[in-house]
Structure 1
Amino acid sequence: MFSLQHTTLLLRVFLLVLILENVKGSSSSASNYLIGLGSYDITGPAADVNMMGYANAEQTASGIHFRLRARTFIVAEQQGNRVVFVNLDACMASQIVTIKLLERLKVRYGELYTEKNVAISGIHTHAGPGGYLQYVVYIVTSLGFVRQSFDVLVDGIEKSIIQAHENLRPGSVFVNKGELLNAGVNRSPSAYLSNPAEERSKYKFDVDKEMTLIKFEDKEWGAVGSFNWFATHGTSMSRTNSLISGDNKGAAARFMEDWFERHGVVRGFDGLSSNISGTGRVPRRVSSLVPKDNGNGNELMKLAASFQSSQGRIVTRLSSVARRVRNALMKAERPQFVSAFCQSNCGDVSPNVLGAFCIDTGLPCDFNHSTCNGKNELCYGRGPGYPDEFESTRIIGERQFRKAVELFDKATEKLKGKVGFQHAYIDFSSLEVSLPKVGGPNEVVKTCPAAMGFAFAAGTTDGPGAFDFKQGDDKGNAFWRLVRDFLKAPDQEQVNCQHPKPILLDTGEMKEPYDWAPSILPVQILRIGQLVILSVPGGESKPIIFY
């Protein structure tokens, strides 16, 4: 994951690369694009597979909340470059999934789709099957590689790209952006306040509140889809959840696709509330993190009574048989509407917007360390539907959906110009970056091999860790140092480089039985006219509009 500050640093580096490599080019000349969208199921094994995200060995799938999908768009010049962007209802992208996917695409399409112009992003749901990555640290809790999880991702991504390729038709792409204020908060505000005041003064909020949306219009059929980027974690569903789910972003995508299917065109918010009230059909559950009722069911009865049933839909006037047949044929020819809600620089952005509270006392957690009486295991963030995590998922999804509809309806800025891409493998373990220094010349800093600190093991208020770890711990613990040294003791150079963070696991230098964490990672830049999409390690992405 990358915080707002980490992503800003990456932007400084790679935007320089972008300019030097002349990716931006001229965006003044009009260009007729070919656009194609695709969507395919990637739900995977629904039982007895550990879930990816919370690193909780006890969180094993036992059913489905709603199914997961891979959503793809392709934008191509009439005679020239093309780019592919895939958004997964999965925790993150996977390098080994990408490698195997590209092998299949090469067999099918030759050099048309390669590592250079295909970018894959994950929505960061913590409620999808795990075991599909190739590094130890990501598959420890799933007890190794899970072939079923892997295969369904490769198959689903490939089929979504095939759909998008076969749907390529002349069309246009529009862009719009705006602020969404109530779908994400900083889950570690004390950590953010440790940043220099000069740094914090550059931003309006302590997390990124901007949503950027691109709208696809087919030359014949009109609107056929949209992809948007907004930063909020896929953690509305708690670490005790056992149902496969796309969490809030997966829900938002379903809301928008279903709503467009009913309306055919976007015309503002008329009828929106009654349409999305149909989500009452989604099963609800009070999180098992909430203390159980001690024989008094009144509160739960009140909660149950508060759930309103769907109001249904107005029955339309029956038309002639000929008209119904004609409409059915037209609907069959129309491209499927695809709407993806992509993850941006989510870092410490939590959908649990009510704040963090102790589950034993109901009081707010300690501000600096997110603990309750010194214990991190009792501190949890609360979503807007607390204590019903399904309701929280729906609400945060609906808020993103409403903003996306607003931006979609008002998207009038047309993307014009070249389609392009840049791809590079960057060694993040030894990257030198020049940063401005207060009162002096720029300072050159250097990254280190990856390492997880003691504070990492404390988890977050979205999903606390175990034992006696605490957020913000810069001292460490003698016992856990002994455990660490049994696996791999960091050398002094690594200790000095990571200072003041005490190292719990020296993952970047652990190689047994194979690599625990990557060091050389792919970074991609996709360009459509004046829009540039930066895809960073971890499967998150960030759109930037050039004016």
Structure 2
Amino acid sequence: MPETNYATDRHLVGRAIADITGEPAEVGMLGYGKGDQKTTGIHLRLRSRAFVFVDPLVDRRVLLIVNDLPLIFSSITQEVLRRLAQRFGDTYTQSNVMLTATHTHCGPGGYSHHRLYNGSAGFRPKTFAAIVDGILEAVERAHEDLAPATLRLVHGELREASVNRSRAAFDRNPEEDKEFFPDAIDPQTTLLRIDREGEPVGAINWFATHGTSMSNRNTLISGDNKGYAAYHWEHVVEGVNYLADPDPDFVAAFAQTNAGDMSPNLDGRPGDATDERENTRALGLRQYEAAAKLAAGYVPRMAGSIDHRVVHVDLSAVTVSAEFTGDEREHRTGRPAGGAAAFAGAGYDGPTHWKTFHEGSNPGWDLLSRLVYRFAPSLRDVQAPKAIVAPGGLLNRLGPYVQEIVPVQLLQIGELYLIGIPGEVTIAAGLRLRRTVAAILGAEPANVLVAGYSNAYIHYVTTPEEYDAQHYEGASTLFGRWELPALQQIAAQLATAMHDGSPVPSGTEAPDLSEVQRPAKATPPVDFPPVGHDFGDVLSEPAPAYRAGEQVSVEFAGAHPNHDLHRGSTYLMVQRRDGERWRTIADDGDWSTTFTWSRGTASSSRVTITWDSPADATPGTYRIRYFGDAVKSGTDRVPISGTSPEFRIHDDEQGD
């Protein structure tokens, strides 16, 4: 029989959503490393989902924030913690706050304090502010939302949403790893359901697959497959209206785990299908359906307390004991370095433009590195057989290039344990971390998850055996062959401290680099409408009528969208006439719409809005509205808008 005595709920939980969409025009997108992939608009807005878990019996809490972002950098974590301290004192700290990313490759970059990730354009203050302000907004709402709740944890399997993109490297692992993953994927899908008085009010799902369903040809902001999964559950299934309801009845987050070698492109090609948007929707829908199936079944109530530990470690200088190295010898990590194969990209998800680099062997670079290793045995022990191309440690002497001091975290939420790793962990590497922590805590291994992409970023984490293959993932394991054993050793220290109820020294944090940033020259030019037009004029009209299911397109004389990011608002509305009023049925946060900006002549802007009308759209009269902000010569920013001519939607029975 299901439990009904909700008065015995041990935990308090708060949950909330906020918009974190950055600049939608002319900003390099983060993830694929493709210099000409710059934002031109929005397909699906990016959101932050915050969850506060409190155990009043021991007066402890943790804050988990799942963000539709490519990556989390220390720049974001440090500023969020600084602002939380101003707002809440010592309630939320570096120990009990986990910021994690879904790893979409369709978000604007420029928000790191390390140069590698900002490209040649530099730091983007507007995008940085949009992310931080949105995260803070989500946390404040979740904090106010705290109420008694029942936590329920369940696991299942999903086998049609990932494939191992580095199989040859995975196959180098010992049998005990390969037997655990006989299909070379991690099929575990984990659901944490949050109930109030017997009704689900929130859910967090963890599943390992990359946010690369949208290819490196896409230039519209999107949450990719996990963003769609959350949107589908919240908006399509539960009816959440992101604009109208700042405190929704249901919040669903789809978080990452050890997705380092997991691709969503099942046929081995970037984009997977001829329609990458449909592929994104399909992969997101599979994750939703697996999570929803778990949520609809019997989900046992979860016991246990709340706890947290964090340590800051210089990963370039860890002495790793023989207990974790696997060869009965002590080893050390070293300064970060990128290998030749890192410049080749991951073929399943999008190779780079560097045609001279390949996964595996790169003869010229291999020979050069062997010569260097001959005269530097300590470097050889750390980095061989990597063909070093980008010595990050050397580059860091010229300025902040990649991060070396990073947080490693362990959170307990009832019976669930999250190992916060600031990188992309392969499934075999994740399994070793999970087993290490589970053994110390006496936990079920399924209840111990790697929370990758958390709090900072160090690129990849591979097993030593995978590292030796020097595929994309191994070449991107910056701190060398012993990086994973070092992280296992650190995770063991955190788990031991948590098991014993003892504190752990937090270590020296990474320096705050906010004062040494070079902001991008990102001020949009003064706006002018196209010759012969005013702002908001319709340049291309919709047809008079469409069948339900057809795409509607309208082009407006617009302005540069980076003047005002409309965070928490929208650049567009699709409206249907309802009696004497117009009812908004879609905006730029909906999957059915796209907002695309392009530059015209003489600093003019053209804005194209499309709407894929649903196959079951209500017959009637519709219109599309555009909202922007123009900066005219010698004036402040002024709002502008445009409205399309009305058009009809009819079903097939009504005819043309």
Q: Scaled by the length of structure 1, what TM-score is found? A: 0.71
**Unmatched runs of 5 consecutive residues or more in structure 1:** 1-29, 265-330, 357-380
2:401 corresponds to: 516
Name the residue aligned to 2:264. 351
Once the two structures are TM-superposed, the CA of residue 519 in structure 1 deviates from its matched residue by 1.4
- The alignment covers a number of residue pairs equal to 416
| Distance across 2 between alignment mates of 1:333 and 1:349 | 34
Aligned residue for 2:62? 83
Structure-2 change in CA distance of 1:479 and 1:502 (3 Å): closer
Cα offset, 1:432, TM superposition: 3.5
Deviation at 1:107, TM superposition (A): 1.1
**1:216 paired to 2:129:** no
Q: 1:502 aligns with which of 374, 387, 403?
A: 387
Whole-Å separation in 1 of the counterparts to 2:245 and 2:217: 41
- Is the CA contact 1:31–1:417 (under 8 Å) kept in the aligned structure 2? no
Alignment check: 8 A CA contact 1:424 1:523 kept: yes
Letter in 1 for 2:79: K
Among 456, 466, 474, which residue is 2:342 paired with? 456
Alignment partner of 1:201 is 2:185: no
Q: Percent identity?
A: 36
Partner deviation per Cα, 1:4-62 (whole Å, 9 max, x = no partner): xxxxxxxxxxxxxxxxxxxxxxxxxx761111001000111100100000011100000
Match of 2:286 in 1: 399
Displacement of 1:496: 4.5
Query: Which residue of 142, 155, 172 maps to 1:164?
Result: 142
Contact conserved, 2:410 with 2:417, CA < 8 A, in 1?
yes
Corresponding residue SS for 2:64: strand
The residue aligned with 2:308 is 421
Matched, 1:57 2:57: no
**Counterpart selection for 2:210 from 226, 233, 239:** 233
**Distance apart, 1:511 and its partner CA:** 2.0
Following the alignment from structure 1 to structure 2, what is the Cα–Cα distance between the partners of residues 155 and 480? 47
2:16–2:247 CA contact under 8 A, matched in 1:
no
**Which residue identity is paired with 2:253?**
A
RMSD across aligned C-alpha pairs, in angstroms? 2.9
* Deviation per residue, 1:192-219 (Å, 9 max, x gap): 2233445423433312111111001123
Pick one of 155, 158, 162 that aligns with 1:180.
158
Q: Match for 1:418: what amino acid?
A: S
Counterpart-to-counterpart distance in 2, 1:352 and 1:209: 15
* Structure 2 residue aligned with 1:107: 86
State the 1:335 CA deviation. 4.7
State the alpha-carbon separation in 1 of the partners of residues 328 and 379 from structure 2: 24
- State how far apart, in whole Å, the 1-side matches of 2:368 and 2:110 are: 26
**In the alignment, which residue of structure 1 is the partner of 2:359?**
471
Task: Name the counterpart of 1:131.
Answer: 110
Aligned-residue offset at 1:445: 3.2
The change in CA–CA distance for 1:536 and 1:411 in structure 2 (over 3 A counts) is: farther
CA distance in 2, matches of 1:342, 1:478: 37
What amino acid is aligned across from residue 534 of structure 1 in structure 2?
Answer: I
Return closer, same or farther for 1:420/1:236 CA change in 2, 3 Å cut-off: same
Selected match of 1:192 from 170, 173, 176: 170
Secondary structure at the residue paired with 1:413?
Answer: coil
Aligned match of 1:409: 296
Separation in structure 2 between the aligned mates of residue 199 and residue 239 of structure 1, nearest angstrom:
32
| Separation (CA, whole Å) in 2 of partners of 1:54 and 1:333 | 33
| Worse-superposed segment, 509-518 or 149-158 | 509-518
Which residue of 1 is the match for residue 226 of structure 2?
249
User: How many angstroms does 1:64 deviate by?
Assistant: 0.6
Find 2:415's aligned residue among 508, 530, 536.
530
Structure 2 counterpart of 1:95: 74
SS at match of 1:157: helix
Query: Secondary structure at the residue paired with 2:221?
Result: coil
Note if contact 2:114-2:401 (Cα within 8 Å) is conserved in structure 1: yes
Q: Which amino acid aligns with 1:188?
A: S
Q: Is the 8 A contact 2:228 2:280 kept in 1?
A: yes
Please give the alpha-carbon distance, in whole angstroms, between the structure 1 residues aligned to 2:240 and 2:79.
39
For 2:274 and 2:288, the matched residues in 1 are separated by: 22
CA offset at residue 229 of structure 1? 0.7
The Cα of 1:133 is off from its aligned counterpart by: 1.1
Cα distance, 1:437 vs structure 2: 9.7
Relative distance call for 1:399 and 1:245 in structure 2 (3 A) is same
Tell me how far 1:506 sits from its aligned partner. 0.8
Per-residue CA deviation, residues 209-244 of structure 1 (Å, 9 max, x unaligned), is 11111001123x721110111010000111111000
Provide the secondary structure at the position in 2 that maps to 1:45.
Answer: coil
Going from structure 1 to structure 2, the CA distance change for 1:188 and 1:407 (only over 3 Å counts) comes to same
Whole-Å separation in 1 of the counterparts to 2:324 and 2:64: 37
Shift of 1:334: 7.8
Separation in structure 2 between the aligned mates of residue 236 and residue 333 of structure 1, nearest angstrom: 29
Secondary structure at 1:200 match in 2: helix
Is the 1:31–1:418 Cα contact (8 Å) retained in structure 2? no
**Aligned-pair distance for 1:495?**
4.4
**Per-residue displacement from partner, 1:405-447 (whole Å, max 9, x unpaired)?**
0111125221212111111112222233346799x97343332
Matched to 1:122, the amino acid is A
Residue-by-residue CA offset, 1:484-537 (whole Å, 9 max, x unaligned) = x9xxxx966334521111100011332244121111110111112211111111
**Equivalent AA in structure 1 for residue 81 of structure 2:** L
Q: Does the 8 Å CA contact 2:95/2:409 hold for their aligned counterparts?
A: yes
- Mapped to 2, the partners of 1:442 and 1:492 lie a distance apart of 19
Q: In structure 2, which of residues 12, 15, 24 is the aligned counterpart of residue 46 of structure 1? A: 24
Q: Structure 1 411/129 Cα, relative in aligned 2: closer, same or farther at 3 Å?
A: farther
Q: Secondary structure of 1:387's match? A: coil
Change (3 A) 1:261 1:446: same
What residue number does 1:288 align with? Answer: none
SS where residue 414 of structure 1 aligns? coil
Amino acid paired to 1:353: L
Structure 1 CA distance for aligned equivalents of residues 314 and 18 of structure 2: 33
Amino acid at match of 1:169: A
Distance 2:124 2:320 in 1: 38
Amino acid corresponding to residue 421 of structure 2 in structure 1: V
Partner of 1:120: 99
Amino acid paired to 2:307: G
Cα distance in 2 between the residues matched to 1:539 and 1:121 = 12
- Return the alpha-carbon distance in structure 2 between the equivalents of residues 415 and 427 of structure 1: 36
**Which amino acid in 2 is paired with 1:130?**
G
- Seen in structure 2, the aligned counterparts of structure 1 residues 476 and 411 have a Cα distance that, compared at 3 Å, is farther
User: 1:333 offset after TM fit, Å?
Assistant: 11
